[in-house]
Structure 1
């Protein structure tokens, strides 16, 4: 039996009995104009609008790759394309489907096209989970336009999708939905007859908590809204109270305003707990920020700053860990990003601490701002241009690599700063070896302590 038979039956049932479908399904956009977010893909004349025939010009490839985090509308866009083009919509997941299922859909698409002129949109979710051989099986259908393939992935397609398929596809990058995007969707679901039809109200306090729960995921927001609305109506309540939402989704509302004092207070407490090496307190504040729906990129940025400000060369790998965490967070988003942030927070909290890098640049900047600069010593100036020799630039410079010790005892700083020492390393962790190194180099440079 072909998978599209199940899809067709489900769509027919939804049209006859809309209330039997989940709210997220009932509120699924029917046109591109109803799509929430992704405005960069929906501009007039965009490739997506050409694909559905809403704009002039060539439609382009018959294969589309949608790359973005969960809940940003990948399935929705595929469904809208099928509706706009009056095509059969068949959905497969690479987690459960294999080559056999793909071939069955392709065979069905060829029969539908040849038998009654009906085109097919094949939506393949999680395509990155398909092996190379499985992805190869899609190529004939794409090349011959037997189906319009819309494949979705949360992984970078340049690493997870085979080159022949990638080169034949229109790659569209979906951005995380903003709070305003989710808020608009929630309010539409409350008032629309396909949704809750004004059966219940949603106070601002409850709406804000619902936005935090959603974490940028439209599907999660509508699922939670539907459950809470049902609970409120069962109680005979005219609105969804905060307590009802908390009970329904089993998530307490965290007192945390991303634009207010709590945002800065909790972020400050996280960094100070890391600085103080209290890993448990740091994890507590991290959890509060995650639970309140804080932007994971903001947290990652704070960790990168902490790695240099409070750890520095006491553990040179701390910054590498923080940067890697920030890159991972940008790629995966919540909820999985919580694991990465926890990893980095623990590593930074338990690392040996040093603020020597912070105080060093602070002291150097202070001198510069006081006007302590002076001209660059003549032997260090650029000597590669015509006339530099006449000016004496570069003369007397000693090339350190020509010396056995690899260090030349010559003046590098301007005269006003020649004996200034900014970097004062601690003997914490790995910085102990830097302390030995700086002592040795200063001695061999012939420097006097200020």
Structure 2
């Protein structure tokens, strides 16, 4: 059998001195059953298990796999486990440093190994989305002829980043960030396993919680941080990894924040109140604390959308559009890039002119409706598009605004119970200053008051001054 000198040397070194390898490498699963998380692709009878020969009928389906998911979700691990389970030679390349020349060399080596030693090769190609179309084309003959089992990993949407011929010949598996329970199980295994830390130190609950936060669903990051904290604790002669020791080791301060406790609501409240108070720096501080603590970015985006209507409203009607666009972007991209989007919209909302007039208006109208101030719809506003409506007097005497000068008809719209009620009281801040002028003129026209001098545009939006935004200060 053709010797794999680099792999053999690494395995021999790890066997002689296991501590020489990083903890994440030492704890790499050796079978599919040892893999933590990703149960949706590891269930009995799944295509991945059939690929390694488990279940009836042996291997089935495509011999190549594309693993799509964020960093630290086990893409390299799954590739390694497949090679171990199938007893195939494992070769790893990164599209960042390798090119067509290196890929062809691996393919030629795989063909020689298959012919001379009857041993097949697993080619793990990381960051395949960084390969150009021509570079990806070079993989097709090896995939079609099954000279290698290609396992390609990408953090980008494969439907946009991988050529169709390669995608159609591969099994696409989507990997998800590890849940906290998965990461917790992984940490406990690393703490106790002989090939891990072998119970050399203990992990208190507060330190564990911080480890889970900074891991962000990334197994590699969690194990790297655990190893750094354990190394520092052992060097100090401490029996456990204290929070302070871990902070020093990973050079990140623990955020006092409980996503399920009082701090969760306190920080979220402080964020919104800082936006309402137009303190952009405090806004960014609380936003950073929420992000650093691992708060769901969708929760933050929802709070910002509410603030855009509740605290800014008609003073800047585009604020809600900005917040909604941010929420959509956050849902599409997730962390870590979502922090950029959240930061942008938080700054925009904090610096926007403020008005809660629309928020107060709808609540005032709701209060009246709940108090029974509803009443029947005025007859002339009722539906007249059915037989017998005319006899009932419905839709009779209705004035069509588009037929009248200025587009306003002086007629009653609200029920008698609330006729004349003023719910919306606009401020003079930002863009709402214009609406304040508009609403007064419209209400006067609805009452039948004599119209003011017609504006140049023939409508009722006001003169030039009323178009200017007010100054909140």
Q: Give the TM interval when normalised to the shorter protein.
A: 0.7 to 0.9
Query: 1: CA distance between counterparts of 2:145 and 2:240?
Result: 54
**1:346: which partner in 2?**
347
**Secondary structure of the corresponding residue to residue 124 of structure 1:** strand
Cα shift readout 1:350-386 (whole Å, capped 9, x = no counterpart): 1111222322222232233223334555666667778
Query: 2: CA distance between counterparts of 1:380 and 1:172?
Result: 58
Pick which of 229-238 and 399-408 moved more: 399-408
**Secondary structure of the corresponding residue to residue 175 of structure 1:** coil
The structure-2 alpha-carbon separation of the partners of 1:309 and 1:278, relative to structure 1 and needing over 3 Å to count, comes to: same
Q: Does 1:27 align with 2:53?
A: no
Query: 2: CA distance between counterparts of 1:196 and 1:407?
Result: 79
* Shift, 1:275, TM fit: 0.8
Query: 2: CA distance between counterparts of 1:401 and 1:120?
Result: 76
Instruction: Answer yes or no: is the 8 Å Cα contact 1:69–1:333 preserved in 2.
Output: no
Q: Does 1:184 align with 2:185?
A: yes
**1:84: which partner in 2?**
85
**1:125: which partner in 2?**
126
Which of the pair has more CA radius of gyration? 2
**Secondary structure of the corresponding residue to residue 171 of structure 1:** strand
> Gaps spanning 5+ residues in structure 2: where?
450-473
Q: Does 1:241 align with 2:242?
A: yes
* Shift, 1:432, TM fit: 3.0
**1:48: which partner in 2?**
48
TM (normalized to structure 1)?
0.87
Query: 2: CA distance between counterparts of 1:259 and 1:46?
Result: 35
* Shift, 1:254, TM fit: 2.4
User: Where do residues 323-338 of structure 1 align in structure 2 (5 Å cutoff)?
Assistant: 323-338=324-339
**Secondary structure of the corresponding residue to residue 318 of structure 1:** helix
Cα shift readout 1:314-365 (whole Å, capped 9, x = no counterpart): 2233233333333333344434333332222212111111222322222232
**1:299: which partner in 2?**
300
**1:256: which partner in 2?**
257
The structure-2 alpha-carbon separation of the partners of 1:116 and 1:404, relative to structure 1 and needing over 3 Å to count, comes to: farther
* Shift, 1:86, TM fit: 2.1
The structure-2 alpha-carbon separation of the partners of 1:87 and 1:405, relative to structure 1 and needing over 3 Å to count, comes to: farther
Cα shift readout 1:158-204 (whole Å, capped 9, x = no counterpart): 33333333333333222222222211111110001110111111121
Q: Does 1:213 align with 2:252?
A: no
TM (normalized to structure 2)?
0.83
**Secondary structure of the corresponding residue to residue 67 of structure 2:** strand
Query: 1: CA distance between counterparts of 2:236 and 2:56?
Result: 53
**Secondary structure of the corresponding residue to residue 123 of structure 2:** strand
* Shift, 1:6, TM fit: 4.1
* Shift, 1:148, TM fit: 2.6
Q: Does 1:364 align with 2:365?
A: yes
User: Where do residues 55-74 of structure 1 align in structure 2 (5 Å cutoff)?
Assistant: 55-56=55-56, 59-74=60-75
The structure-2 alpha-carbon separation of the partners of 1:397 and 1:206, relative to structure 1 and needing over 3 Å to count, comes to: same
Cα shift readout 1:389-433 (whole Å, capped 9, x = no counterpart): 887776766666666755566655445445444333323223333
**2:456: which partner in 1?**
none
Query: 1: CA distance between counterparts of 2:82 and 2:448?
Result: 72
Query: 1: CA distance between counterparts of 2:5 and 2:394?
Result: 82
RMSD: 3.1
Query: 1: CA distance between counterparts of 2:357 and 2:261?
Result: 32
Query: 2: CA distance between counterparts of 1:310 and 1:19?
Result: 56
* Shift, 1:309, TM fit: 1.7
Query: 2: CA distance between counterparts of 1:369 and 1:64?
Result: 59
User: Where do residues 92-103 of structure 1 align in structure 2 (5 Å cutoff)?
Assistant: 92-103=93-104
The structure-2 alpha-carbon separation of the partners of 1:320 and 1:33, relative to structure 1 and needing over 3 Å to count, comes to: farther
Cα shift readout 1:194-250 (whole Å, capped 9, x = no counterpart): 101111111212212222222222111111111111122122222222222122112
**Secondary structure of the corresponding residue to residue 91 of structure 1:** strand
Cα shift readout 1:254-277 (whole Å, capped 9, x = no counterpart): 222222211211111111111101
The structure-2 alpha-carbon separation of the partners of 1:435 and 1:119, relative to structure 1 and needing over 3 Å to count, comes to: farther
Query: 1: CA distance between counterparts of 2:448 and 2:109?
Result: 82
Query: 1: CA distance between counterparts of 2:244 and 2:286?
Result: 23
Query: 1: CA distance between counterparts of 2:5 and 2:286?
Result: 50
Cα shift readout 1:283-331 (whole Å, capped 9, x = no counterpart): 2222222333333332222222222221223223323333333333334
The structure-2 alpha-carbon separation of the partners of 1:197 and 1:358, relative to structure 1 and needing over 3 Å to count, comes to: same
**Secondary structure of the corresponding residue to residue 424 of structure 2:** coil
> Gaps spanning 5+ residues in structure 1: where?
none
Query: 1: CA distance between counterparts of 2:367 and 2:68?
Result: 47
Query: 2: CA distance between counterparts of 1:132 and 1:393?
Result: 68
Larger RCO: 1 or 2 (CA < 8 Å, sep 6+): 1
